[in-house]
């Protein structure tokens, strides 16, 4: 397969959009898998209590598994919870369990409640270094569909935000709220954060609507929108029920190829 250039330092991306069902998790796991299959070292941090990213990456995440919950709330080091994904080399996942559903409230009374993920990641990066392990190239954080403390933790830990946008009615609805929230984070909590990447997903080339939405988003965000479009594809939506990404489930499908293209663009930026 194709090899992609390694970034000069670890890039940390939060995949966010407070709307549910827009393709956050699908984008996270498939871009991560595409980058790892191109030779990069990639970690996915699942901070959605649903644990959909953990499922798609084939990583066990039942209630007894040590998870990102223990990192955020019980001060576990990240290295204690990270698992290797079964199908793709140097792809790792810090899974989410159902306990995370309570974390939103538990975090409120903790010290440095917005910075807990950032600190855990910093420590983990240092831990890998002192252990002589390969530097991570990308870390992706898969967010829940809300703007609560879990998502705030992700924004504080990241350098980049990646926003998946569904090519449907109301695509831009809620986007200005998201951008306002990101501005607040930039102002008060993390001045390094930029909205670097927008990915158009679930594109249905047969409809004028999808083309209009895509053109509209490109006009508003010419620098951020990736050229690659993710089509609406049954293979993409089937893969998670086999605990797989589309990259291994059907590597020659248009869905897999479009995620590879998006990943290559991202890596080459
Ligand atoms: P989110 O994480 O934003 O809630 P998901 O990634 O879970 O969204 O996607 C929502 C649903 O849409 C899932 O059932 C997923 O399998 C499906 N889906 C995502 N992307 C595509 C696509 N390109 N084509 C078809 N179905 C998709
Ligand atoms: Mg999700």
What is residue 267's predicted lDDT score, i.e. its pLDDT?
96
* Mean pLDDT in residue range 61-69: 97
Rg (CA), the chain: 17
pLDDT band for 254, please (50, 70, 90 cuts). Answer: very high
Residues near ion ligand 2 (CB < 5 Å) are: 24-25, 52
Measured from the CA of 26, which atom of ligand 1 is nearest? 6
Pocket-forming residues, ligand 1, beta carbon under 6 Å = 20-26, 52, 145, 201-202, 230, 232-233, 236-237
Atom of ligand 1 nearest to the CA of 238: 16
- pLDDT tops 90 at residue 174: no
Q: Which residues sit opposite 163 in a β-bridge?
A: 198
State the distance from the centre of ligand 1 to the C-alpha of 143, rounded, in angstroms.
14
Range 164-171 average pLDDT: 86
> Which pLDDT belongs to residue 122?
97
pLDDT (tens digit per residue) in 202-252: 999 898 999 999 999 999 999 999 999 999 999 999 999 999 999 999 999
User: Which segments of the chain does DSSP mark as H helices, in order?
Assistant: 24-37, 52-56, 68-74, 103-108, 116-130, 149-157, 175-188, 208-220, 234-238, 246-249, 254-268
Nearest protein CA to atom 18 of ligand 1, as residue: 237
How many angstroms separate the alpha carbon of residue 23 from the centre of ligand 2?
Answer: 7
**DSSP annotation string for 130-183:** HTTPPPPSEEEEE--SS-SHHHHHHHHH-SEEEEEEESSTTTTTTHHHHHHHHH
Using one digit for the tens of pLDDT, what is the confidence trace for 129-146?
A: 999 999 999 999 999 998
Measured from the alpha carbon of residue 202, the closest ligand is: 1
Residue nearest to atom 20 of ligand 1 (CA): 23
pLDDT of 141: 98
Model confidence at 262, in pLDDT bands (50, 70, 90)? very high
Tokens of 106: 């538990």
pLDDT of residue 176: 87
Of 46, 64, 56, the residue nearest 142 (C-alpha): 46
Residue count of the chain: 269
CATH architecture of 11-268: 3-Layer(aba) Sandwich (3.40)
Q: Whose CA is nearest to atom 6 of ligand 1?
A: 23
CA distance 230 to 81: 31
pLDDT of 170 strictly over 90: no
Please name which of 226, 200, 251 lies closest in space to residue 88, comparing C-alpha atoms: 251
Give domain limits for the chain. 11-268
Q: Which ligand is nearest to the CA of 54?
A: 2
Centre of ligand 1 to C-alpha 201, Å, is: 9
- Tell whether the model's pLDDT for residue 86 goes beyond 80: yes
Pick the more confident residue, 159 or 146.
Answer: 159
Distance 259 CA to ligand 1 centre (A): 13
Q: Directed axis angle between helix 116-130 and helix 149-157, to 10°?
A: 40
- Model pLDDT, residue 1: 74
What is the residue with the minimal CA distance to atom 27 of ligand 1?
A: 237
- Torsional sign, CA 263, 12, 217, 152: positive
Yes or no: say if 157 and 141 are a contact pair by the CB < 8 Å rule: yes
Q: What was the pLDDT predicted at 205?
A: 87
Per-residue pLDDT, 171: 78
The pLDDT mean for the chain works out to: 95
């Amino acid at each position: 397969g194709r090899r992609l250039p390694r970034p000069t330092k670890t890039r940390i991306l939060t995949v966010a959009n407070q709307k549910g069902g827009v393709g956050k998790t699908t984008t996270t796991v498939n871009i991560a898998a595409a980058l790892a299959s191109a030779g990069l070292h990639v970690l996915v941090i699942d901070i959605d209590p649903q644990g959909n990213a953990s499922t798609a990456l084939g990583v066990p995440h039942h209630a007894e598994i040590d998870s990102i919950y223990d990192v955020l709330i019980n001060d576990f080091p990240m290295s204690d919870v990270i698992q290797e994904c079964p199908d793709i080399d140097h792809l790792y996942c810090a899974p989410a369990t159902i306990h995370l559903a309570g974390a939103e409230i538990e975090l409120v009374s903790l010290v440095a409640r917005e910075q807990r993920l950032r600190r855990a990641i910093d420590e983990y990066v240092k831990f890998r270094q002192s252990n002589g392990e390969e530097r991570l190239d990308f870390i992706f954080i898969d967010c829940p569909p809300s703007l609560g403390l879990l998502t705030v933790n992700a924004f504080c830990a990241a350098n980049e935000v990646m926003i998946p946008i569904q090519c449907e009615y109301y695509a831009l609805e809620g986007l200005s709220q998201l951008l306002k929230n990101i501005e607040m984070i930039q102002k008060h909590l993390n001045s390094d954060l930029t909205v670097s990447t927008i990915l158009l997903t679930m594109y249905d080339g047969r409809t004028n609507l999808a083309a209009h939405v895509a053109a509209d988003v490109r006009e508003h965000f010419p620098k951020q929108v990736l050229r690659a479009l993710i089509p609406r594809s049954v293979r993409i939506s089937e893969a998670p029920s086999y605990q797989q990404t589309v990259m291994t489930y059907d590597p020659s499908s248009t869905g897999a190829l479009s995620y590879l293209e998006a990943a290559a663009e991202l890596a080459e930026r």
